[in-house]
Amino acid sequence: MTVVVFLSSLLGFMAFGMPIAFALILTGTVLMWYLDFWDVQLLAQNLKAGADSFPLLAVPFFILAGELMNAGGISRRIIAMAQAYFGHLRGGLGYVAIAAAVLLASMSGSALADTAALATLLLPMMRERGYPLSASSGLVAAGGIIAPIIPPSMPFVIYGVVTNTSISQLFLAGLVPGLIMGAGLVIAWTLISRGMQEPPQAKASKAERRRALADGVAALMLPVIIVGGLRGGIFTPTEAAVVAAVYAFLVSTLLYRELDWGALIEVATRASRTTASVMFLCAAATVSGYMITLAQLPGEIAAMLGPLADHPRLLVAGIMLLMIAVGMVLDLTPTILILGPVLAPIAMKAGVDPVYFGVMFVLIGSIGLITPPVGTVLNVVGGIGKLRMEVLVRGVMPFFLMYLVVVALLILFPAIVTVPLAWLR
């Protein structure tokens, strides 16, 4: 019965158009009333505790780092470097988009920031060279959602906080799945681009490639510093976020000199707005999360999933199917905040590695960013490219199916995640 109260309250508030954060707070109060545990002071304490978290300090700094990279010319240089090496191939701009998506993912950890950079710089070029609009926009959107998987990842930070999972291990475990996602996009784009007719693009000379690499090498050092620092135990994920923001600031202002005071104020303003939204969501989720634990909601759902408890792969597959459905109507952050504390204990009780489950959870939630009707990343690409939703959905579908193949592969062979993680540890 508690499950019914929780779901009906949350979905009911959302159906009335209430923002997710307020819906979570009110859902927590409904559970308080249902359990005859009404305490306004406890409500306020949990709301404050939800934002008062040292690991969550990584969120504003990763957001700031992403904004600095876009405004300071780092993202543009990454794309220029990828174009120098892959732009001459058939469908070359598609491979440029994939390479740039993987490289940008290793720096910002934000799907929206990476997608905005890719769409702004690459969509006009793809349109000019006669690429199909649907396939081009679909590829850019699909490339953007690699960001939450390859470290540093803001969703991993949030998931680690709400489920008490090691953020450092989540970061390291996301490396191989993120690269596999990139490889899947390469396969899909190769099949799509076979029939494309485009003007031949001159191959960049060795000197041009060296110049592009030299211009972008400072940007390429950021993921090396972050992953190396985490692997060597030099800093925590929160400290890694500060390092990323400071490094992006120094490179943008002192080396590339593309960030003046006016642009810096605008960057700080955008980062502050996004941070306020995310942190309020985290605080609100703590209220409902506390009541979910008090109401023993995970236990009730675990009882419903009882027949799958002895078959971890089937359990993970069932949860992932549920996540795909949820991802169609919820953004990634609310999905993590609402379902993470509920489903993670169930998976752990069934013997599923908590870090592996966290990677799968965030991966499926990220795929939800390119599925309608919500599809936040699709909306970003559509807004920048001025494209209709039906064009975007048609274009992203081949890449969506490829991602489902990747998910199936990771479910059937968990060692793809756990073995590299054991080595990186």
- Closest by CA to 181, choosing from 416, 421, 423, is 416
pLDDT band at 200 (very low <50, low <70, confident <90, very high): low
**Nearest-angstrom CA–CA distance, 17 and 26:** 13
pLDDT tens-place string over residues 135-169: 999 999 999 999 999 988 889 999 998 899 999 89
Of the two residues 203 and 368, the one the predictor is more confident about is 368
Q: Sign of torsion, CA 243 217 168 144?
A: positive
Sign, Cα dihedral of 26, 28, 33, 39 = negative
Instruction: Name the average pLDDT for the chain.
Output: 85
- Indicate the burial class of 307 (C-beta count within 10 angstroms; 0-12, 13-18, 19 or more): exposed
Does pLDDT of 425 surpass 70? no
Tell me the mean pLDDT in the region 382-391.
87
The answer, yes or no, to whether residue 318 has pLDDT greater than 90, is no
Distance CA 20, CA 281 (A): 7
Average pLDDT of span 31-59: 80
Collapsing DSSP to helix, strand or coil, 375 comes out as coil
- 335 pLDDT tier (thresholds 50, 70, 90): confident
Which DSSP helix (H) or strand (E) runs through 13? helix 2-15
Cis peptide preceding 199, ω within 30 of 0 = no
Which whole number is the average pLDDT over 232-247? 85
Nearest to 344 by CA among 408, 307, 292: 292
Find the mean pLDDT for residues 185-208.
Answer: 83
What pTM does this model have?
Answer: 0.86
Q: Tokens for 248, please give them.
A: 């992006």
> Is residue 397 predicted with pLDDT exceeding 70?
yes
pLDDT in tens, 256-297: 888 888 888 998 998 898 888 888 888 888 887 777 777 777
% of the chain exceeding 70 in pLDDT? 97
pLDDT band at 315 (very low <50, low <70, confident <90, very high): confident
pLDDT of residue 147: 92
pLDDT given for residue 386 in this prediction: 86
| 235-254 average pLDDT score | 87
Is 231:172 a contact under the CB 8 Å cutoff?
yes
The pair of three-digit structure tokens given for residue 340, joined into one six-digit string:
């993470």
Determine how many CB atoms are found less than 10 A away from the CB of residue 289.
Answer: 23
CA-to-CA distance for 208 and 11, rounded, in angstroms? 55
What gap in Å lies between CA 114 and CA 106, rounded to an integer? 10
Token pair of 239, please?
């400290």
Identify the pLDDT of residue 199. 67
Least confident of 47-56, 181-190, 282-291, 305-314: 305-314
